[in-house]
């Protein structure tokens, strides 16, 4: 499959497009098409399985993967571990505030325990991402999705992480096929 994708990328001459046209236009088209494809595949998986393969923080993750693929925050390591930290911090916050069985904040009123869970989850996510050197801003949305109770069961969190892994794999394949020196795992070191 990879050789087919690479062959298509060569045939499309994506670097030649940038040379002939505004790089902003080409990158906008690249980001747009790949955002549609990647989130469309996830939405299709959600429809087929009835599981939450699409959630709000995947949108900004797709944007990072296809618009700024060489930024540290878009690397596979940072993408995967950022969302994992966000999901775990959100769940820990639900446990700490006794909200694992509570209705989602959007379906009920926002209570003081919910405020505490949201604040704690974002604080934990931010701190652990910095300490682990795995910044990924969309993980801040993931932790709120969990701490607000939108996705709150371990099985939902497993699907969430599977969706992140699938989007990351798509980002890797698409960026590499386009000739972008996207990292295999960790962000590339600066000069």
What is the per-residue pLDDT for 188? 85
**Chain CA centroid to CA 95, Å:** 24
The conformational region for residue 98 under phi > 0 = left, psi -120 to 50 = alpha, else beta, is left
Domain span at residue 84? 2-177
188 found inside a domain: no
Residue 56 scores a pLDDT above 60: yes
Residue 9 scores a pLDDT above 70: no
What is the per-residue pLDDT for 6? 41
102 found inside a domain: yes
State how far the Cα of 159 lies from the Cα of 54, in Å rounded to an integer.
Answer: 9
State how far the Cα of 31 lies from the Cα of 151, in Å rounded to an integer.
Answer: 27
Find tokens 């693929």 and name the residue: 69
Average pLDDT over residues 68-94: 97
190 found inside a domain: no
Q: How many domains does the chain have?
A: 1
Mean pLDDT of the chain: 88
* Angle of CA points 136, 139, 142, to nearest 5°: 165
Segment of 30-39, 115-124, 171-180 carrying the highest mean pLDDT: 115-124
Average pLDDT over residues 183-188: 93
């Amino acid at each position: 499959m990879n050789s087919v994708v690479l062959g298509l990328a060569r045939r499309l001459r994506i670097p030649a497009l940038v040379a002939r046209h505004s790089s902003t236009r080409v990158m906008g088209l690249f980001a747009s098409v790949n955002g549609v494809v990647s989130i469309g595949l996830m939405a299709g998986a959600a429809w087929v399985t009835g599981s939450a393969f699409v959630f709000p923080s995947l949108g900004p993750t797709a944007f990072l993967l296809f618009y700024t693929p060489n930024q540290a925050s878009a690397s596979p390591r940072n993408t995967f571990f950022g969302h994992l930290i966000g999901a775990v911090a959100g769940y820990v916050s639900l446990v700490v505030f006794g909200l694992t069985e509570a209705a989602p904040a959007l379906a009920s009123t926002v209570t003081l325990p919910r405020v505490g869970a949201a604040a704690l989850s974002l604080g934990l996510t931010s701190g652990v991402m910095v300490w682990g050197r795995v910044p990924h801003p969309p993980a801040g949305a993931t932790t709120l999705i969990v701490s607000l109770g939108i996705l709150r069961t371990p099985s939902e969190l497993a699907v969430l992480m599977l969706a992140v892994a699938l989007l990351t794999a798509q980002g890797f394949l698409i960026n590499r096929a386009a000739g972008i020196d996207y990292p295999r795992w960790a962000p590339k070191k600066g000069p």
